[in-house]
């Protein structure tokens, strides 16, 4: 049975690694850290190390067991391109994604420099079923977009979540999809409507798919994608190719 996801822009999650370390503003109230600690308290074996970066070779073949095609978020509880994940293991993850060609895999990182290094120097294939993304939580991290644009991918996407500040003007050349969402949890930082509008308008102008995931809050409601009376749940077109 697939590990179904409550994340609205995907259908399942696959975690060949768990745990991470904080590197930017979006990490402060990390949902994955909170959930890892909760699962540790519940005695879930996979989280015996709490939120310490841990590699799980026994999880590698999980997508091969899922016979129905799915959108799969890779490492919802970690970052595959963390410096402590050796490229030899990353290669094994990519080999599985290549074999499981009936799925769409969505990789998201706050370390696009390492993603670029891997795809340029250690894995020279552009897999048609793998989407590559990076997080841009405020204007200070727009530089990640420039790096992501150099990554060979069928689909490149931005996760502007948790959005903790305005992002400003964006060059979305080579970007196919943008996700926006507010922060969740008891210590959530507020999101402003004008920040979201600014991103939405730029996506429309530059013909990029826009997905508004949630407003955020202590317990954000599922399906909270309405902005100015319109629900934005766009995905990149199936025929979108690398630019």
Contact between 144 and 174 (Cβ < 8 Å): no
**Helix H or strand E segment including 148:** helix 143-148
User: Would you state the pLDDT for residue 216?
Assistant: 87
CB atoms within 10 A of CB 226: 12
pLDDT at 213: 94
pLDDT given at position 2: 67
Q: How confident is the prediction along the chain (243 residues), in pLDDT tens digits per residue?
A: 567 778 889 999 999 999 999 999 999 999 999 999 999 999 999 999 999 999 999 999 999 999 999 999 999 999 999 999 999 999 999 999 999 999 999 999 999 999 999 999 999 899 999 999 999 999 999 999 999 999 999 999 999 999 999 999 999 999 999 999 999 988 999 999 999 999 999 999 999 999 999 998 887 765 557 899 999 999 998 765 544
Q: Please report the pLDDT score of residue 221 as a whole number.
A: 64
- The helix/strand/coil state of 235 is coil
Tell me the per-residue pLDDT of 53-69, one tens digit each, with 9 for 90 and over: 999 999 999 999 999 99
- The pLDDT assigned to 225 comes to 78
Reduced to 3 states, what is the DSSP secondary structure of residue 240? coil
The residue whose two tokens read 């600690």 is 37
Closest CA to 49 of 78, 10, 71: 78
Rounded to two decimals, the pTM is: 0.95
What is the DSSP secondary-structure string of 57-83?
GGGTTHHHH--S--EEEETTTB-TT-T
Q: How far is CA 165 from CA 9, 151, 159, 226, in A?
A: 22, 26, 13, 19
| Residue 210 · residue 203 · CB < 8 Å | yes
> Cα separation of 4 and 171, whole Å?
34
Which domains does the chain possess?
12-231 (3.20.20)
Element (H, E) at 205: helix 193-205
**Phi-psi label, residue 48: left if phi above 0, alpha if psi -120 to 50, beta otherwise:** alpha
């Amino acid at each position: 049975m697939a590990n179904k996801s409550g994340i609205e822009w995907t259908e399942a999650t696959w975690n060949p690694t768990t745990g991470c370390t904080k590197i930017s503003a979006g990490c402060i109230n990390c949902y994955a850290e909170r959930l890892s600690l909760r699962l540790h308290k519940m005695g879930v074996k996979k989280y015996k190390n709490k939120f310490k970066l841990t590699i799980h070779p026994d999880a590698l073949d999980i997508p091969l067991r899922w016979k129905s095609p799915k959108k799969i978020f890779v490492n919802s509880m970690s970052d595959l391109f963390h410096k402590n994940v050796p490229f030899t293991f990353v290669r094994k993850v990519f080999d599985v994604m290549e074999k499981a060609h009936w799925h769409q895999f969505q990789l998201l990182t706050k370390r696009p420099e390492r993603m670029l290094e891997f795809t340029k120097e250690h894995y020279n294939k552009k897999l048609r079923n793998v989407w590559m993304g990076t997080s841009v939580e405020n204007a200070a991290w727009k530089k990640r977009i420039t790096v992501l644009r150099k990554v060979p991918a069928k689909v490149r996407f931005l996760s502007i979540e948790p959005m903790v500040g305005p992002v400003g003007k964006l060059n979305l050349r080579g970007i196919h999809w943008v996700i926006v969402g507010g922060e969740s949890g008891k210590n959530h930082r507020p999101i402003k409507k004008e920040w979201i509008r600014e991103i939405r308008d730029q996506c429309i102008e530059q013909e990029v798919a826009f997905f508004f995931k949630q407003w955020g809050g202590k317990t954000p409601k599922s399906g909270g994608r309405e902005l100015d009376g319109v629900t934005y749940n766009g995905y990149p077109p199936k025929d979108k190719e690398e630019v």
